[in-house]
Amino acid sequence: MAAKYREFQQLNLPAIETEILAKWTEHQAFEQSVSLREGATPFVFYEGPPSANGMPGIHHVISRTLKDLVCRYKTMQGFQVKRKGGWDTHGLPIELGVEKELGITKEDIGKTISVEAYNQKCREAVLRFKDKWDDITRKMGYWVDLNDPYITFKNEYIETLWWCLKRLHQKGLLYKSVSIQPYSPAAGTGLSSHELNQPGTYKDVKDTSVVAMFKAISTAQSAFLFEAAQMGSTLDAEVFYLAWTTTPWTLPSNLGLTVGPNIDYVLVKTFNPYTHLPVNVVLAQNLLGKYFKPEGENGDFAAYTAETKILPWTILTSFRGKALEGLRYEQLLPYEASTAEKSGGDPFRILLDTFVTTEDGTGIVHTAPAFGADDYKVGRKYGIGILTLVDREGKFVDGLGEFSNRFVKNYKDDPNYVDVNVDISVKLKKENRAFKVEKYEHSYPHCWRTDKPVLYYPLDAWFIKTTAIKDRMVELNKTINWKPKATGEGRFGNWLENMVDWNLSRSRYWGTPLPIWRTTDGNEEKCIGSIEELNTEIRRASEVLGGDINTHYLHDGILDLHKPYVDDVVLVSESGKPMYREPDLIDVWFDSGAMPYAQWGLDYEKLKAGDERPFKAPFDTNYPADFIAEGVDQTRGWFYTLHALGALLYDSVAYKTVVSNGLVLDKNGNKMSKRLGNVVDPFKTIETFGADATRWYLITNASPWDSLKFDLEGIREVQRKFFGTLYNTYQFLALYANVDGFAFKEAAIPLDQRPEIDRWILSSLNTLIKEVTAAFDDYEPTQAGRLVEDFVDEHLSNWYVRLCRRRFWKGDYSADKISAYQTLYECLETISRLIAPVSPFFADWLFGNLNGVTQRFTEGSVHHVLYPTADAAKIDPALEERMQLAQDASSLVLGLRKKVNIKVRQPLQRILIPVLDPVTKAQLLKVEDLVKSEVNVKEIQYLTDADGFIKKKIKANFQALGKRLGGKMKAVSAAIGNFSQADISRLEKEGSYSLEIDSEPLILQIHEVEITSEDIPGWMVSSKGSLTVALDVTVTPELEQEGNARELVNRIQKIRKDNGYDLTDRIQVKLGEAGSLAESIRQFGPYIKEEVLADELEMVDHLADGMPIEVNEKAIKVWVDKSSRA
């Protein structure tokens, strides 16, 4: 017996997926999809490593769907796509997790728990949820190689990172410097930005803020200020710059004042409200209102006394910030520890920078390079040096007079603590150096462990000099295909433009150690690039330095490149001095950014040979990546570090195309968070709705880069609308193909021998292939998915199958029937291949069901066959156009029927279609039969102009006319609106028409207007676009009888079905008490018999056991039974 198509009770996507998953596992379908393409052009994909110490969420499903579908698509296009998985295993989140679990803090590490034991814990925690990740990977159908993933904590991986660092070191791109970092004096440690982002670290606090007065020095350049001041006063004028701070303790370390180059500043004559001395002050114009009352402007200076409430003030001059650049001022708080010499630069000058705002303060920023990142940056730019007058405990250093050794904040919980900030303010007030002192409430970061305010403090750190190749990185970025484009140009482009050097240092424990050893004086250093190199150096140091040096590592060499082991190692410098490792770890982002190299590890042969790229195969054919994809939050993370390292190491991009997907929000548009309890469990979602429906929904609902409002209702819709329809279409084919034994054994019927509708759906199908391929090639899977959806729903199911249903169940196994089968089969088979990248399970299931019978492909899985290619010969635009006409015409007629309440089963005589041009008529003629049967009408008549029935409508063609006429459009449009039928005819006949607009002649061309038929007087009409149809609604007695017959057929069919007969069962029918229906039955008897597969149709006078039914409100009795004949 021939193989049968599988038939099902109902669509059950999760069940299908379980079945397909088992098949994939059994046949190693993924491995095969790679090995089958051995020798083919590689398509290179990099997997961004997830961290397996947390559970996977639904947002992981979207980015992985994206990655998966591209890789599957490219595989089907004939490329070999290797997909090495990876795990990100270092970093703070892991450490914090372990600390929490053990109930310890960072200080305990090395004290209550050894670094060795701690790191062991981290190592165990790292892959805690690996099983869950593997599970979701499998269930969501993500094909990635999990058997041999790269793992960032492995020695081989770290070794490669070291090699990369060494290369940077050799290029002089690795340097040690201070940077301003958040620092907790109470805890004695720097804080990462991640730690600063812990909830609750930013608190509203009230600090003593002071507007300090920095005394200007008179020079040739600042003369304009002093001259202006002089004019307003007979006294020897003093000029002060006002600068605001909420951290007065930074004032002794002040070395500069920063102003905005384009901010407007004013010089104001007034009095110091504390000392009541006359002063001239500089501040931003916008901020005058903060310090001066409007009523005081140009007030009575002479009458001013200490009791005067309202300060008199007057503007002496104004100027841009630019004018102040380089001007000098007197140091505010000079002490022996804070001399210009100690600063190491040329301090006490006015600087320009754009970070200055006029939101608050004075528009002049007090700049202490040691205690602010912006301060540091601008300070460096101008070379004003640096003074760090606070030590790591948070107290002032010696040599600051009365402030020496006082804590700048109450870090020790001293009950007798006196706020040094207040004392500084008081001192300034007394010295005529404070303009305003007040408590100021603002949000300030606190250490999440000690609850004490954080300082920004200069700390030693290692940097990669990314700024050295900034221009090159910008240039290389321009060659990268960003999806969406704006992310690459905007977010990423700006980021590159404003790049700073990459701070590599992390003072933590679990991570890649910096492979740099230094002598204590810092004069000699060594960067180690491989395990072997380290072992050699270990032995050398032992020999040179002797003693106990490195004894543990002499025998087997170093076995683990992590802390604490590497810290034990002492190396020896060229001059014979001991060298110790720089204690920092490196930023985890370096780990992932170097994955193109480290995922393969070092090839020691190549290394020995001095290869520039000493990485194991298949690195050479797998760099750079053709494609990567991650969430948009990685723009400045992974996307950046990959790019930076590619450019730094090899002057190359690391990836050619990058897709950044947006965030997944909940259905109300809120971010998903555990706290809000609105997270979607990907396991549950996939179990309930199936991975395919989930994937399809994620991809088609919104462009990947738009943020997605995740709504389970949307998945349900996809399931019903798309997969349900496709499933039904397959069921339909299976049902009849099994009856007829269709297995695509016959030769394919040539296209020109197939009916119009078959050629049409095949034309549409090939158009679809073309468009879907273009969309995928452009990394627009959303477009691709929506195109397929439209085709399946609109074209295949709602038009082709609906119109062709009869062809499948009616009549013999004829050429026409075979053509229908072949056509529908080809559509389904092609769709299974088109959707395979997005919905891999259902596609393979559908493909398997079809191919299992026909064996048209030898491949066992849709993922091993090639992607369909469009056959241009099958595409016929005119055909697609006229089918659209047919659909529109049918829709119009059905609409008209509806209006007059004549059901479709009632045949009608004719419709009229006015045609104004012969092409449309020719097009309509070819689809006439389809329209007639769809709307159950006997004939179509075409009305041409000559008939004189048509009433026409004319409208200006704005697009064509607008260009030519411009301003006259309105008048012309109105004139055209007034055209009579005769005017229209004349225009049509002569091809042009003379108008007069604003007393100027104007020739109107025929192509500059649109003429449509609007009405046929006396008929029911309806139109859409340029198509108009009229319906003859007269039901003649003949038509009514035919309608009755069709209605009766319908009733008998229903009885057949209710009785559960097979499709092919023959029946016998008896009709009784036919009454007025008798004539219909007599006349259409043969038709009725054929339709209901009746061998006998008999009318009797009395039918005792007949079932009473109604046919068009006329009663009749029917008796149906299976025919006795076989």
Partner RNA sequence: AGAUCCGUAGCUCAGCCUGGUUAGAGCACUACACUGAUAAUGUAGGGGUCACCAGUUCAAAUCUGGUCGGGUCUACCA
| Interface pick for RNA out of 101, 393, 706, 778 (rule CB under 7 A) | 706
| Interface pick for RNA out of 1053, 1076, 1083, 1123 (rule CB under 7 A) | 1053
| Interface pick for RNA out of 542, 729, 822, 920 (rule CB under 7 A) | 729
Q: Which amino acid is at 62?
A: I
Question: Between 218 and 507, whose beta carbon lies closer to RNA?
Answer: 507
Least CB distance to RNA at residue 247 (A): 5
790 classed as catalytic: no
725 is a contact residue toward RNA (CB under 7 A): yes
962 is a contact residue toward RNA (CB under 7 A): yes
Which parts of 864-893 interact with RNA (CB under 7 A)?
Answer: 891-892
Least CB distance to RNA at residue 577 (A): 37
273 classed as catalytic: no
970 classed as catalytic: no
637 is a contact residue toward RNA (CB under 7 A): yes
Question: Between 242 and 561, whose beta carbon lies closer to RNA?
Answer: 242
4 is a contact residue toward RNA (CB under 7 A): no
Query: Which of 334-342, 438-446, 597-605, 744-752 is the region at the interface with RNA (rule: CB under 7 A)?
Result: 438-446
| Ranges assigned E (strand) in 642-791 | 655-661, 664-665, 708-709
Cα torsion 723, 725, 728, 734 to 10°: value is -80
The site map against RNA for 905-944 (x = CB under 7 A) is: x---------------------------------------
Which parts of 442-471 interact with RNA (CB under 7 A)?
Answer: 442-445, 456
921 classed as catalytic: no
Which parts of 82-101 interact with RNA (CB under 7 A)?
Answer: none
Q: Active site residue: 24, 49, 483, 666, which one? A: 49
Q: Which of 1102, 1100, 1099, 1094 is nearest to 1121 (CA)?
A: 1094
| Ranges assigned E (strand) in 490-535 | 502-503, 505-506, 516-519, 525-527
| Interface pick for RNA out of 15, 1063, 1078, 1115 (rule CB under 7 A) | 1063
638 classed as catalytic: yes
Query: Which of 141-149, 239-247, 273-281, 512-520 is the region at the interface with RNA (rule: CB under 7 A)?
Result: 239-247
Radius of gyration of the chain (CA): 42
d(CA 1055, CA 902): 24
Q: Active site residue: 80, 181, 634, 923, which one? A: 634
Which parts of 480-519 interact with RNA (CB under 7 A)?
Answer: 484, 486-487, 490-491, 494
How many residues form the binding site for RNA (CB under 7 A)? 105
How many residues in the chain?
1126
Query: Which of 64-72, 109-117, 557-565, 968-976 is the region at the interface with RNA (rule: CB under 7 A)?
Result: 968-976
**Strand 1009-1015 and strand 578-581: pairing?**
unpaired
d(CA 1088, CA 1097): 8
d(CA 1036, CA 1040): 6
User: Helices 802-809 and 815-834 meet at what angle, rounded to 10?
Assistant: 130
Contact present, 266 and 314 (Cβ < 8 Å): no
374 is a contact residue toward RNA (CB under 7 A): yes
823 is a contact residue toward RNA (CB under 7 A): no
Contact present, 453 and 183 (Cβ < 8 Å): no
| Interface pick for RNA out of 663, 870, 995, 997 (rule CB under 7 A) | 663
Q: Which of 679, 648, 643 is nearest to 658 (CA)?
A: 643
322 is a contact residue toward RNA (CB under 7 A): no
Q: Active site residue: 4, 206, 671, 903, which one? A: 671
In eight-state DSSP terms, residue 175 is: E
Which parts of 241-300 interact with RNA (CB under 7 A)?
Answer: 243-247, 250
Q: Active site residue: 88, 584, 626, 666, which one? A: 88
What residues contact 476, with CB distance under 8 A and at least 6 apart? Answer: 643, 646, 647, 651, 652, 653
Question: Between 228 and 365, whose beta carbon lies closer to RNA?
Answer: 365
What residues contact 558, with CB distance under 8 A and at least 6 apart? Answer: 531, 534, 535, 538, 565, 566, 569
Question: Between 229 and 1021, whose beta carbon lies closer to RNA?
Answer: 1021
904 is a contact residue toward RNA (CB under 7 A): yes
Which parts of 970-999 interact with RNA (CB under 7 A)?
Answer: 970, 973
Structure tokens at 797: 């199911």
H helices of 284-372, in order, are 288-291, 340-343
983 classed as catalytic: no
366 is a contact residue toward RNA (CB under 7 A): yes
H helices of 88-218, in order, are 92-102, 115-126, 130-139, 155-170, 193-196
Q: Which residues pair with 212 in a beta bridge?
A: 243, 434
Question: Between 354 and 536, whose beta carbon lies closer to RNA?
Answer: 354
What residues contact 772, with CB distance under 8 A and at least 6 apart? Answer: 784, 787, 788, 834
Query: Which of 467-475, 571-579, 674-682, 1054-1062 is the region at the interface with RNA (rule: CB under 7 A)?
Result: 1054-1062
d(CA 857, CA 854): 8
Which parts of 1084-1103 interact with RNA (CB under 7 A)?
Answer: 1092-1093
898 is a contact residue toward RNA (CB under 7 A): yes
Query: Which of 237-245, 683-691, 861-869, 1032-1040 is the region at the interface with RNA (rule: CB under 7 A)?
Result: 237-245
What is the three-class DSSP state of 581? strand
88 classed as catalytic: yes
Annotated catalytic residues are 49, 88, 589, 634, 638, 671, 674
